[in-house]
Amino acid sequence: MGWLATFNIITLIKCSQSMSKRLNIPSLDYVDLFGYSVSIGPKFTRNFVSESKTIIAVTLTIANIGYCVVYVSMAAAYLEQLMQVYIDGHMFLRPYVLVFCVALLPITLITTLSVLAPFSALGNILNFVNLAIIFQYICRDLPSIKSRPSFTGMSEDRGTMLLAISNLMYSYEGIGSVLPIENRMIEKESYGGWNGLASLAMTISISLYTGFGFFGFLKYGEETQPSILLNLPTDEAFFKAIKVLNIFILYTSVGFQIFVPSKVIWQGIVRRITSGTLIKYGEYLLRFILLLFITLFTMAVPNMDLVRPLVGAMCGSSLAFVFPPLMTAFILWNPDDVEEQSKWKWFKHKLTILFYMVLSLMGVCITIFGTVDAITRIIYRYA
């Protein structure tokens, strides 16, 4: 799945560079790129440029809000585990969700990216330290590899392969930032390609996920929690500090993640507002409403093991597996050198379009079946 995601990210970058060159535009974001690709695709798609851009914008917005929901549910789980040391008896997750969301209000109301940037930078630095500490701990005193089953993906008690794929789709949450990064690069040609910076970044990410997944399951087996951090000891001050550190990292992540959907929604609303008071304070009200929605949704489904595959299947898979190959197929539909093509080149060209269409169809299947499976699990848990 990591290889396919990397291939699609490289495909997305190629689409951006190809369309920028064709239209003589210096940069394109995800929404505009999809709109332009639809406009030069098959004839029956060219009347739906506006709708296609809306679909991408809505998907990106839902994805960012979904990531916030997962972050809040993770922070609530860490808070609950920390407080269980001091409080006798079991408490539900929902009070911790409410406490964390109330604490989020100040950072949510920050409307300037330059103010948020230091928090994000600090969170990233602390995250590197956090990963190193967790990884060295789970690699201590590992049992024999023969003590764990080599494959559990199809067993009902452990979950299915579809659930695993949906969780993996969530891990590619950075797909929305691929083009903004490319647009700000001086040497854009060094970003894509099999040996470009995007491939390097994906290789590091996939290696980290593989390493934590493999060694985490080797150490804890069937007792592996939805977040490996929940498997760390709760009776040692050092590991308590690590969990507090992670709560802070999630705090900054939510503040940064909610920035994108609030700006996108506000830009669509502000054009229709004539009241000066609403223009001045409307964005703050919108951010409060978004935080309220995140709070209510997380309180309704507070378990990260249920929310994460839903967000991954519904948004992550569509942004990383459906739209990039579909855009490529649309762009290839009307090539610049169509008159110069030989019969072999024409056949190869059509075969390439078919390949990308099949790849996109696979993504659609993952999105539909993964979303249905995730919703079914939520209904089964709470019905």
User: 90-94, 115-119, 229-233: which has the minimum mean pLDDT?
Assistant: 90-94
- Long-range CB contacts (< 8 A, 24+ apart) of 31-39? 31/56, 31/57, 31/60, 33/179, 33/327, 34/323, 34/327, 37/326, 37/327, 37/330, 37/331, 38/330
pLDDT at 364: 93
The identity of residue 82, as a single letter, is L
pLDDT at 341: 60
pLDDT of 158 strictly over 60: no
pLDDT of 378 strictly over 80: yes
User: Residue 112 — φ and ψ, nearest 5°?
Assistant: -110, 125
pLDDT in tens, 98-155: 999 999 999 888 888 778 878 878 888 888 888 888 899 898 889 998 888 887 666 5
The separation between CA 7 and the C-alpha centre of its own chain, rounded to angstroms, equals 17
* Pick from 94, 168, 97, 98: nearest CA to 382: 94
pLDDT at 292: 94
pLDDT at 340: 56
- What is the token pair recorded at 42? 């098959």
pLDDT in tens, 326-361: 999 998 887 655 555 677 777 888 898 999 999 999
Give me the domains of the chain, ranges plus CATH numbers.
2-382 (1.20.1740)
